Chain A
Amino acid sequence: MITKMNHTSIFVLDQDSAYDFYVNKLGFKVNTDAQMGPKGRWLTVNPPEQPDLEITLMAIDDKMMFDKSSAAKMSELVAAGTFGFGTFLCDDMLATYEELKAKGVHFKKEPAHEFYGFSAVFQDDSGNWFSLSERPK
């Protein structure tokens, strides 16, 4: 029986820039930052209240997961904002929105009360988008 998810991946165009985005803008914690020799860098972060979920900031290149042609296609799709990788929760939507805006985060959809809850959509520095939802009070 599967019990929980402990690793998931977000494909990023540049790991240094993604590090800055996820750590300094979103406030995530670095879990693992390991140099893997010629195969690149294994970089994972945790959402602040989820120390047992590692999100891998996976470089899109031809060193490990992709061949050259797939990496080029993937980079193009990510940069075009094709992929939504999940939903993040916050305790207070308006405060979180204001803070992320102040830090330069781009919102594709500003906060609104929808039939499914109070939510917004923002993009990371690569173009991946995420829903942001307020935890029900």
Chain B
Amino acid sequence: MPDQEFPKLYLYRRIVQAKLFIDAHSAERIDATDIADEACYSKYHFIRTFRDIYGKTPHQYLTAVRVDKAKALLETGMPVTEVCLSVGFDSLGSFTGLFKRRTGVTPSTFQRERLARRQRMDKAPLSFVPGCFAALYSGRENSNTREAT
């Protein structure tokens, strides 16, 4: 894309690089200053521009990424304390409180529900498939390339 057409594109590139930096380093001790440095911005200008684009401050975005990664790890069955430390939270208390505020349930409840769903999916996969497709999977109907009679 011609940069002349969108003269501020270089600014977007820097903010996007900062976002990708957060995605890649979310488990580490990073703060807005590290991230602003990564984007070659002053801290204040960086926070404002980031929020204009993503609707969240870099810190809010970092927290959201950590919670998302925590969800993925909890689904694997990893112990809650290990998940907490793996995604970059310092204490189990703050992790649990923040997770509950964001998702409505505690990490252990979330894990129990997701593992139970996984178990149901393994045991009765057809119940997760909508009707007509379930019929195809179950072998009660042939492929849709055959016309209905």
Contacts and interface: CB of A to CB of B under 8 A. Distances in A.
Interface of A: 6-7, 32-36, 39, 42, 56, 62, 64-67, 70, 91-92, 94-95, 97-99, 102, 110-112
B148 interface: no
Contact of A65 (B16, B128, B130, B143): B143
A98 B13 contact: yes
A34 B125 contact: yes
Contacts of B15: 95
Q: How large is the interface on B (under 10, 10 to 19, 20 to 34, 35 or more residues)?
A: 20 to 34
Contacts of A56: 133
B130 A7 contact: yes
B136 A65 contact: yes
A104 B63 CA distance: 26
A34 B1 CA distance: 40
A42 B137 contact: yes
B128 A32 contact: yes
Interface string B123-136: 00110111001001
Nearest to B10: A98
Contacts of A62: 143
B125 to A, nearest CB: 4
